[in-house]
Amino acid sequence: MLDDEYSLDYFKENGFVRKTCPKCKTNFWTRDADTEFCGDPPCVSYSFIGAPVFKKEYDISSMREAYLSFFEKHGHTRVDRYPVIARWRDDIYLTIASIADFQPFVTSGLVPPPANPLTISQPCIRLDDLDAVGRSGRHLTTFEMMAHHCFNSRGNEIYWKDRTVELCDTLLADLGCDLNAVTYKENPWAGGGNAGPSVEVMVGGLELATLVFMDLKQVKGGSIEIKGETYEKMDNYIVDTGYGLERFVWASKGSPTIYDAVFPKIVNELMDLAGIEHSIDNPEYARMFSQNARFAGVMDISGQANLLQLRKKVADTIGTTVEKLQKLMVPVETVYAITDHSRCLAFMLGDGIIPSNVKAGYLARLVLRRTLRLMKELDIREPLIEIIEMQIKNFPEYPEFRERLDTIREIVALEEEKYADTIERGTKLVKKTALHFKDKKEKMPLGELIQLYDTHGIPPEITKEVAKEAGVEVELPDTFYSLVAKKHSKAQDEETEGLSLDLPLTRRLYYEDSEQTEFTAKVLEVIENRIILDRTLFYPEGGGQPADHGTLSMEDYVANVADVQNMNGVIVHETDSDIGFKKGDTVKGRIDWERRLAHMRHHTATHIVNESAKSVLGKHIWQTGAQKSTDRARLDLTHYKRITDDEFKEIELLANRAVMKNQPVHIDWMDRIEAEKKYGFVLYQGGVPPGREIRILRVGSDVEACGGTHVSNTGLIGPIKLIKTERIQDGVERIEFSAGEAAVKRVQERDELLNKASDALRVSPEHLPDTVNRFFDEWKELKKENERLKAELAEVRVKAMMGDAVEINGLKVLSTKLPHADVEELIKAATEFSKNDEVVAILASESGGVKIVVAAGARAQKMGVNAGVMVRELSKLVGGGGGGKPGIAQGGGTDIAKIDKMQARGVNWLKAKYQPRDFHSQQDIIEFVRNSEDYNPSKEKFNQAEVLNIFNTSLQKTWLVSTNERMYCILDDTAEAKPQLRWSIPKRDLIDGNKVSIEIKTREYKEKTGYVDIGPKHHGWLYSKRLFDKFAIEDSIKNMITKTML
RNA sequence: GGGCCUGUAGAUCAGGGGUAGAUCGUUGCGUUCGCAACGCAAAGGCCGCGGGUUCGAAUCCCGCCGGGUCCA
């Protein structure tokens, strides 16, 4: 920034000299040529403590009045303060500076200021340095920024830098300040897309004011560079000053801390409540806090390490130890913080913020919970609301807070309760978590601490304390909260695609006559399928109201309009085709009236429902969102508890009364500032419209800035039917409703549901609740009875069936099919069976597919029966799966035809394992082949048959048998009653001429067994290697074939 | 606006694909002149709702409803 920006005539004419601070190298202006430093900590330290800089002491209200009347006297108009919740802005939640009141439209020049020049004392809230509040002696979350603003434009300058500095100088002189002690430190300012030269006004080491000369706006590739961004001069340039009210009061008193200066009464009352002796008039005691404030003024005290450094410095200067100092100071600092926070809450709640877990409401909750935590530290049992009330009563200048007191009381009580619940839940959870780590003999890891805070809201301090009690160490780093912040990835702003259009604003016919359905217009531009007209009746999407649909036509060509958007006043019609129109054409437009009318009804109804909700629920109700469509609308409202059924009905009734009154809907275009003055910020329920003129819609007592289309009289809305409420966030309730024909349809739908329900039960709708209750009760009873009966049935069945048990080596095996039983019955019966130690029950049913339950008694399990394994195997046989525990298991499948086979298999499996039958002899096998289907007695000679055993285990043998005509493969499985013929191969596939032609190969499988592939079809047959020591298996088979067939 | 956690008996919570559990509370019985305490027993569950996957879902997946919490 150019140096001459600061070379003001005022400085030159009044004997100022410009100097450079040897410490920080910044330039500053002073009347006293001997002044060495810039006057700003850390270059200098506080000198005003104990040495007030004004000629008399002021309190908050006398200081404010002195300031405002000074500027009134000097040609400024006094303007009322704005709320601390920035309702007129959508980029910030809280009012952080007086200039925020006039952003964005006044500062951009679009809207004239309420007065020019003006003066204001604007309460502001900044939560950036929460940790330092109380500790530094000077930080506050809430402060009043006294200011005078002057909005200049090229050719119309009210005043600029010289006059601004002169006013400041004069004010300080009026207050009795020694002007030689004042320095103006050069410090260019930038923020929020604007920038400009600025001076900080320093007295006694304290920054009392900042004078900003905002005359630059951020422009890509601009010619002036500040802090890495480029800027250009603006056509309108603004004097933006900020005088800290609390700091002025502090400076006038020279108290050790700002808190003692600004809220002596509340500080003292809280000290009493906390049982702290706070004799700030005692010089020694005061010295401690004075020193603390002085050191804190020149250093960064964020984080434990820095804080400890501060403590050490203070302890050294007053000759004590850090421990003793902490013991004395911490409780007092906590009281300071509570004083500040409760004031902050008074403003937040007083201005109508509803605590919540989103947006501004979250910030209110954050402060509220922090305050409760601090109170607990001091063991202050007084309800928080008492302290907040104390604050509110202390502000005679804000009567509006007292009006809201009842609501505030309720909110705070609810919040206190909620927090207590959270802490209680949290404490339990921490104990449990702590014990978990105690068992493992580990420290509780940081990740756990973060998890507890992030997902359950348990402050790490509490976690640490509770864990300590449970005997578990916890590591809590200074940087804890920033670690949490890191966990949350930042959402990227999406680039909105914008058409840059250099076209005149579209004439909005829908505002001129809301009954019209047809119009003619000239085509100004066609971009692919998007058409821009000189005028239109099509309402573009906005304010929660969807775009109109309809047609644009010319001669015999018709295009459907599918979407309509407003691009900075140019309305763009998106059609379903990109041919047909060109620049200069005259087209005829027609809107889908049914759709539009439904939107209009829902839109006007939204205003009415909002108003009704306000009168039923209270003044704190604020719309946070709304959406309309043809068949329904929804409205989101701030409210601190659930809407009850009675309230719901009452809102519906009031809304319909408003309809029946057939009130006219008034629409006026008004100057923004005038409208704000007349109606207040309640105007901005549906968001903040841009522009100097805003469209004001009045229905009954509801007044809102609204750009939507509306019916002309409430009677035209027709019925309003509230459908439901939903809590979309803590502190935000959503009401869904339908209006007009849609409402009738909704009622009809509900009637139909009711009718269907009562028809089904064959009762009239009025008996439905009783009948349903009766049915439900009966159903419960029957269910219980059913269960009891099943148990009884199981018992009976078991007694009846025990006799059928098959004895296998001491086991009693039952295999029964209960075709119609469900799984539960099977389980009950099986459980009943398995009470007998030696029983294994295999139960099956075919209701809804195959169900299998196997249970094994205690002794059976000891012998190695595993129900889970059995079920898993058996289920496969019926095309399903299953499993369970060794004692009891369930399974099932889809193949009902295989139930019997599956059950037999189960029994055989047990037999094989516990009572294996002997293998069949070689003779038996031959006999078996002879009786098989493939055997041809007329041709085959079985007395010449050869037999080869290829596989042999304790449960299974595989045989190959060869006659003069065929080779057979037989599997003898001891789990099966009989051997099985698996396949056979005729001679023609084995022999070609006088040679064995079939291919026989082996593959490796395991140590003792291998695979043999016989011919093209029979692959992967197991063979035991030990059976083929002498000759390889290939040779053995070939030999056998040769021997019998050649 | 985004993220994470969560919903099981009246309460507090375990369990986490295979017969729904504990503690407290409730009721009954025993002991007692009575209460408390103790002992024994019982009642009490659409495992939030609806889909899906599976032979089988309280359990896994998706959606909805409800509760909690952190961040912007």
- State how far the Cα of A159 lies from the Cα of A156, in Å rounded to an integer: 9
| A485: nearest nucleotide, CA–C1' criterion | B71
Q: Looking at A138-152, A779-793, A923-937, which range is the least confident one?
A: A779-793
Cross-strand bridge partners of residue A983: A969
Q: Which residues of A in 729-768 have their CB below 7 Å from strand B's atoms?
A: 729-730
The pLDDT value recorded for residue A501 is 65
The pLDDT value recorded for residue A801 is 86
Distance A410 CA to B12 C1' (A): 28
Q: Return the CA Rg of chain A.
A: 45
Give the tens place of pLDDT for each residue, A66-86.
999 999 999 999 999 999 998
- State how far the Cα of A49 lies from the Cα of A1021, in Å rounded to an integer: 101
Can you spell out the DSSP letters for A164-179?
Answer: HHHHHHHHHHHTT--G
- State how far the Cα of A971 lies from the Cα of A953, in Å rounded to an integer: 12
User: Looking at per-residue confidence, does A336 or A973 come out higher?
Assistant: A336
CB of A492 lies under 7 Å from some atom of strand B: no
Q: pLDDT class for A691, splitting at 50, 70, 90?
A: confident
- State how far the Cα of A103 lies from the Cα of A725, in Å rounded to an integer: 35
- For A751, the token pair is 């009637």
Q: Which residues of A in 394-433 have their CB below 7 Å from strand B's atoms?
A: 418-419, 421-422, 425, 428-429, 432
- State how far the Cα of A99 lies from the Cα of A122, in Å rounded to an integer: 9
Q: Looking at A472-486, A789-803, A870-884, which range is the least confident one?
A: A472-486
Question: Highest-confidence range of A305-314, A445-454, A961-970, by mean pLDDT?
Answer: A961-970
Q: Looking at A145-154, A710-719, A860-869, which range is the least confident one?
A: A860-869
Distance A794 CA to B49 C1' (A): 33
* A368 contacts A415 by C-beta, under 8 angstroms: yes
Give the tens place of pLDDT for each residue, A575-589.
887 677 888 899 999
- For A80, the token pair is 């009322």
Give the tens place of pLDDT for each residue, A522-536.
999 888 888 999 999
Tell me what the mean pLDDT of segment A982-1008 comes to: 91
Q: pLDDT class for A688, splitting at 50, 70, 90?
A: confident
| A894: nearest nucleotide, CA–C1' criterion | B55
- Between strands A693-699 and A198-203, the pairing is unpaired
Distance A888 CA to B44 C1' (A): 28
* A450 contacts A487 by C-beta, under 8 angstroms: yes
Asked whether residue A491 carries a pLDDT value surpassing 60, the answer given is: no
Cross-strand bridge partners of residue A241: A211
Q: pLDDT class for A776, splitting at 50, 70, 90?
A: confident
Distance A421 CA to B35 C1' (A): 34
Give the tens place of pLDDT for each residue, A499-523.
556 788 899 999 988 788 999 999 9
Asked whether residue A237 carries a pLDDT value surpassing 80, the answer given is: yes
**Edge-to-edge, what's the strand order for the sheet holding A956-962?**
A946-952, A956-962, A966-973, A980-986
The pLDDT value recorded for residue A500 is 58
Q: Which residues of A in 810-839 have their CB below 7 Å from strand B's atoms?
A: 823, 827-828, 831
CB of A887 lies under 7 Å from some atom of strand B: yes
Q: pLDDT class for A494, splitting at 50, 70, 90?
A: very low
CB of A543 lies under 7 Å from some atom of strand B: no
CB of A359 lies under 7 Å from some atom of strand B: yes
Q: pLDDT class for A489, splitting at 50, 70, 90?
A: very low
Q: Which residue is nearest to nucleotide B46 (CA to C1')?
A: A780
Tell me what the mean pLDDT of segment A926-939 comes to: 89
Q: Looking at A39-48, A682-691, A841-850, which range is the least confident one?
A: A682-691
* A697 contacts A689 by C-beta, under 8 angstroms: no
Distance A455 CA to B4 C1' (A): 5
pTM of the entire predicted model? 0.80
Cross-strand bridge partners of residue A525: A532
- State how far the Cα of A898 lies from the Cα of A229, in Å rounded to an integer: 80
- State how far the Cα of A886 lies from the Cα of A874, in Å rounded to an integer: 14
Asked whether residue A977 carries a pLDDT value surpassing 80, the answer given is: no
Distance A277 CA to B36 C1' (A): 47
| A884: nearest nucleotide, CA–C1' criterion | B18
Percent of chain A with pLDDT strictly greater than 70? 98
CB of A788 lies under 7 Å from some atom of strand B: no
Q: pLDDT class for A170, splitting at 50, 70, 90?
A: very high
Q: Which residues of A in 635-664 have their CB below 7 Å from strand B's atoms?
A: 642
| A127: nearest nucleotide, CA–C1' criterion | B72
**Average pLDDT of every residue of chain A:** 89
The pLDDT value recorded for residue A626 is 87
Q: Which DSSP helix (H) or strand (E) runs through A413?
A: helix A405-439
| A872: nearest nucleotide, CA–C1' criterion | B55
CB of A890 lies under 7 Å from some atom of strand B: yes
- State how far the Cα of A213 lies from the Cα of A99, in Å rounded to an integer: 12
| A359: nearest nucleotide, CA–C1' criterion | B72
Cross-strand bridge partners of residue A589: A519, A552
Other beta carbons within 10 Å of A782? 11
Task: Report in angstroms the alpha-carbon separations of A710 from A594, A660, A739.
Answer: 14, 16, 13
Distance A635 CA to B65 C1' (A): 19
* A172 contacts A192 by C-beta, under 8 angstroms: no
Q: pLDDT class for A978, splitting at 50, 70, 90?
A: confident
Distance A835 CA to B28 C1' (A): 30
Quick one: A671 exposed, middle or buried, by C-beta within 10 A (0-12, 13-18, 19+)?
A: middle
Asked whether residue A488 carries a pLDDT value surpassing 70, the answer given is: no
Q: Looking at A230-244, A449-463, A481-495, which range is the least confident one?
A: A481-495
Distance A478 CA to B71 C1' (A): 19
Identity at A608, one-letter amino acid code: I
Distance A784 CA to B28 C1' (A): 20
CB of A206 lies under 7 Å from some atom of strand B: no
Asked whether residue A942 carries a pLDDT value surpassing 80, the answer given is: no
Distance A827 CA to B40 C1' (A): 29
Q: Looking at A205-209, A852-856, A884-888, A1016-1020, which range is the least confident one?
A: A884-888
Distance A723 CA to B64 C1' (A): 16
* A809 contacts A914 by C-beta, under 8 angstroms: yes
Asked whether residue A495 carries a pLDDT value surpassing 70, the answer given is: no
| A642: nearest nucleotide, CA–C1' criterion | B66
Q: Which residues of A in 893-932 have their CB below 7 Å from strand B's atoms?
A: 893-894
Asked whether residue A333 carries a pLDDT value surpassing 60, the answer given is: yes
Nucleotides of B strand lying within 7 Å of any protein CB atom: 1-5, 12-14, 17-19, 44-46, 54-56, 65-72
CB of A447 lies under 7 Å from some atom of strand B: no
Asked whether residue A974 carries a pLDDT value surpassing 90, the answer given is: no
Q: Which residue is nearest to nucleotide B54 (CA to C1')?
A: A881
Asked whether residue A441 carries a pLDDT value surpassing 70, the answer given is: yes
Other beta carbons within 10 Å of A450? 18
Q: pLDDT class for A485, splitting at 50, 70, 90?
A: low
